[in-house]
């Protein structure tokens, strides 16, 4: 019984929870945004790959957590002098993200941007949110997917401006999802490999 409780506690370490959240959003980004001009078979393949990638994050994360790779829930953050992952700083970043995200949609409409530009906006706001969280958490690696999403956002806005709006979901949507899933696999994979040593 105590072993099961310890396993559950380790599996729900804030870093692992964050990886699950990011990877689940990545899978959703891919599954929702694979659409024409992609052929139906390619769309189906990408959806299956996104779900498989998410399940890989789950499997690697739980395997690493069972071996204690994520440490005790929050204790390692405090001992390293880092603030708690889901504390006040996180809440402020997420609140600002929501305000900026939803405040930007009407601005894009007023500017006459195509509806697909909303995906580039989402990628930008989510990317900047990761960059801000990297500072809050004192974890520079979190900024890497954030910067990648910001670049995919810029590419999406460029496509929308060049009258290539149908490609924005593929670049800013599917691309962003792939980045989030890749980051989740990389982080849980590193934790799993470290736990085997």
Give the tens place of pLDDT for each residue, 107-144: 999 999 999 999 999 999 999 999 999 999 999 999 99
Residues 29/180, Cβ–Cβ less than 8 Å: yes
Q: How much is the pLDDT for 162?
A: 96
CA gap 168, 181 in Å, rounded: 19
Model confidence over 156-177: pLDDT tens digits?
Answer: 999 999 999 999 999 999 999 9
Q: How much is the pLDDT for 80?
A: 56
Burial (0-12, 13-18, 19+ Cβ within 10 Å), 61: buried
Name the one residue in this structure whose structure tokens are 């959806």: 47
Mean pLDDT of the residues in the chain:
89
Q: Residue 10 pLDDT more than 50?
A: no
CA gap 62, 49 in Å, rounded: 20
Q: Residue 70 pLDDT more than 70?
A: yes
Model confidence over 134-150: pLDDT tens digits?
Answer: 999 999 999 999 999 99
Q: List, as one string, the DSSP characters of the chain.
A: -HHHHHHHHHHT-HHHHHHHHHHHHHHHHHHHH--TTS-HHHHHHHHHHHHHHHHHHHHHHHHHHHTTTT-STTHHHHHTTPPPTTSHHHHHHHHHHHHHHHHHHHHHHHTT--TTHHHHHHHHHHHHHHHHHHHHHT-GGGHHHHHHHHHHHHHHHHHHHTT-GGGHIIIIIIHHHHHHHHHHHHHHHHHHHHHT-
Q: How much is the pLDDT for 146?
A: 97
To 5 degrees, how large is the angle CA 24–CA 29–CA 32? Answer: 115
Domain ranges for the chain, please list them: 2-195
- pTM assigned to the model: 0.87
Q: Residue 2 pLDDT more than 80?
A: no
CA gap 34, 43 in Å, rounded: 5
Which residues neighbour 67 within 8 Å (Cβ) at sequence distance 6 or greater?
Answer: 192, 195, 196
CA gap 182, 53 in Å, rounded: 8
Model confidence over 26-40: pLDDT tens digits?
Answer: 999 999 999 888 999
């Amino acid at each position: 019984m105590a072993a099961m409780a310890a396993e559950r506690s380790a599996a729900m370490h804030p870093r692992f929870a964050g990886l699950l959240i990011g990877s689940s959003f990545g899978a959703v980004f891919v599954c929702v945004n694979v659409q024409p001009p992609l052929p139906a078979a390619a769309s189906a393949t990408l959806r299956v790959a996104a779900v498989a990638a998410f399940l890989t994050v789950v499997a690697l994360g739980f395997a690493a957590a069972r071996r204690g790779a994520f440490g005790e829930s929050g204790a390692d953050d405090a001992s390293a002098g880092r603030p708690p992952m889901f504390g006040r700083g996180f809440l402020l970043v997420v609140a600002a993200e929501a305000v900026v995200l939803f405040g930007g949609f009407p601005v894009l409409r007023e500017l006459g941007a195509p509806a697909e530009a909303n995906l580039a906006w989402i990628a930008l706001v989510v990317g900047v949110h990761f960059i801000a969280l990297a500072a809050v958490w004192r974890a520079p690696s979190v900024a890497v997917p954030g910067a990648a999403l910001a670049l995919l956002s810029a590419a999406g806005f460029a496509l929308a401006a060049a009258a290539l709006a149908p490609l924005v979901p593929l670049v800013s949507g599917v691309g962003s999802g792939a980045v989030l899933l890749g980051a989740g696999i990389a982080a849980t994979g590193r934790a799993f490999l470290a736990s085997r040593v």
